């Protein structure tokens, strides 16, 4: 069967106008190994349909058995009253323990030792901390100096490329003069 007839059958197949016999012709055609290259995609589709047809259907009553099994497992998971009582009492005990611990933590807490009553001592301590931060910040930014050098590399590379491009353009101008001279000599 030629490719044009197969294309017409495919069009009928996709428009749901194909008979069972025509569908069997398409299946046999795409089951062959030597399918034209323009129809390889269609072959993959028919091979997929053929392979998926071999998946067995579930047995009758399959869904009902699954639903019954789910219902049965739900009934076995019931919590006894004793366990519910134990969970409730342990939750209440945990809450009381947290409240008691919080009370003792906040009630016996002393003042903040980081405060200064003398403003000059506070200023000196703040300056010491800021100086330490400044030193560490400067150490961190010092290593960024090499990053600035990396930024210069593309600019230098472009400069070198521009120089070579200018030299090539100058050499090509000489060829243009030569071509013009040849045109004059040839009388064009």
Q: Which parts of the chain have pLDDT scores under 70?
A: 1, 55, 73-80, 110-114, 147-148, 188
Question: 11 with 26: CB under 8 angstroms?
Answer: no
Going by C-alpha positions, the residue among 48, 12, 20, 43 that lies closest to residue 30 is 43
What is the pLDDT at residue 139?
Answer: 81
CB atoms within 10 A of CB 9: 19
CB atoms within 10 A of CB 25: 17
CB atoms within 10 A of CB 7: 14
What is the pLDDT at residue 111?
Answer: 60
User: Full-prediction pTM beyond 0.75?
Assistant: no
How many residues can be counted in the chain? 188
CB atoms within 10 A of CB 4: 8
Question: 25 with 42: CB under 8 angstroms?
Answer: no
What is the pLDDT at residue 109?
Answer: 72
Q: ∠2-3-5 over CA atoms, to 5°?
A: 70
Using CA atoms, how far apart are residues 19 and 71, in angstroms rounded to an integer? 46
Going by C-alpha positions, the residue among 41, 53, 54 that lies closest to residue 10 is 41
Going by C-alpha positions, the residue among 8, 43, 34 that lies closest to residue 22 is 8
Using CA atoms, how far apart are residues 21 and 12, in angstroms rounded to an integer? 12
């Amino acid at each position: 069967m030629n490719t044009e007839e197969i294309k017409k059958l495919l069009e009928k197949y996709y428009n749901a106008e194909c008979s069972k016999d025509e569908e069997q012709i398409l299946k046999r055609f795409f089951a062959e190994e030597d399918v034209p290259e323009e129809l390889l995609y269609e072959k993959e589709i028919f091979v997929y349909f053929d392979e998926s047809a071999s998946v067995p259907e579930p047995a009758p009553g399959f869904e009902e058995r699954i639903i019954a099994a789910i219902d049965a497992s739900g009934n076995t998971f019931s919590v006894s009253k004793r366990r519910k009582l134990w969970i409730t009492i342990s939750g209440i005990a945990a809450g009381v323990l947290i409240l008691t611990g919080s009370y003792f933590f906040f009630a016996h807490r002393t003042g903040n030792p980081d405060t200064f009553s003398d403003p000059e001592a506070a200023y000196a301590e703040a300056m010491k901390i800021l100086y330490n931060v400044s030193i560490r910040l400067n150490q961190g930014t010092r290593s960024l100096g090499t990053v600035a050098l990396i930024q210069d590399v593309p600019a230098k590379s472009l400069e070198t490329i521009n120089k070579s491009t200018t030299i090539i353009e100058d050499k090509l101008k000489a060829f243009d003069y030569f071509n013009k001279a040849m045109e004059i000599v040839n009388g064009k």
